[in-house]
A and B are shown apart, each in its own frame.
Chain A
């Protein structure tokens, strides 16, 4: 173990870093490493972009909703006391 982080050390902590879960000492070691390592700087940037794209993908427009799907649910909600759903041929 050297005093600083290797690229592997940085990559292993990339998620904790971008999620704000890393302690001060590790953050400092990463900052020192990033100052001299383009590859890790790019990697951290890629991980932030990945995180943002994942979050954005949740809002992707879905297909049209078939009205029958809504009707089926609303009919079940309207039933006062729901019995266990009959299973399609057991």
Chain B
């Protein structure tokens, strides 16, 4: 069964045919999040950009082997993650995505009996285009993801933004499913906290 969408199928076919415009579209769509993810793994922007370029070379050289068993995005980000992790190893850096215990944004939200101290209010007019503090909500979301601790950021990019399956994310990052859930939980709470600040 193919999980790649029809849209993706056309993109992949065009890439296999060596269509430059298709490559430009794929690059425009995926390069920025690839660099952001590699930055979370390598903690270095210049290395992240090099690794993203290496990944593109590998993607184009191997596009003929993509069979649609995962989404194209999952395939792309798995190649990127592998490249970033092996680069980190070559640089003598260990890549660990353990939950650091950082950033439980609800730590202070409840009283001794487990009730809300400040009861959450409904957000009004939540649309992607909504402008707050000079930019739209989606770019606030991306900026807030980039401020997360590295492990949460990596999970959020792969699972939250790119929509990869839990098992694909765990395999790509080399973490357990339980660990991934904790990281995703904390990251989403942090994002909700940021949106609450903007929208309440």
Contacts and interface: CB of A to CB of B under 8 A. Distances in A.
Contacts of B1: none
Contacts of A39: 116, 119-120
**Most chain A CB within a 10 A radius of its CB, from B32, B114, B126, B181:** B114
B163 interface: yes
Contacts of B123: 46, 49
A3 interface: no
**Most chain B CB within a 10 A radius of its CB, from A8, A57, A59, A65:** A57
B115 A7 contact: yes
Given A42-B121, A62-B29, A73-B53, A53 B141 contact: yes
B67 interface: no
A72 to B, nearest CB: 7
Contacts of A85: 50, 54
Given A11-B106, A56-B128, A50 B192 contact: yes
A58 to B, nearest CB: 4
A38 B114 contact: no
Interface residues of B, number: 50
Interface string B167-200: 0000000000000010011001101100110000
A38 B122 CA distance: 9
Contacts, number: 125
Interface string A40-53: 10110111011101
A46 to B, nearest CB: 6
A59 to B, nearest CB: 8
Contact of A57 (B28, B54, B60, B138): B138
Given A8-B114, A54-B160, A77-B57, A46 B20 contact: no
Interface of A: 6-9, 11-12, 15-16, 21, 38-40, 42-43, 45-47, 49-51, 53-60, 62-65, 69-70, 72-74, 76-77, 82, 85
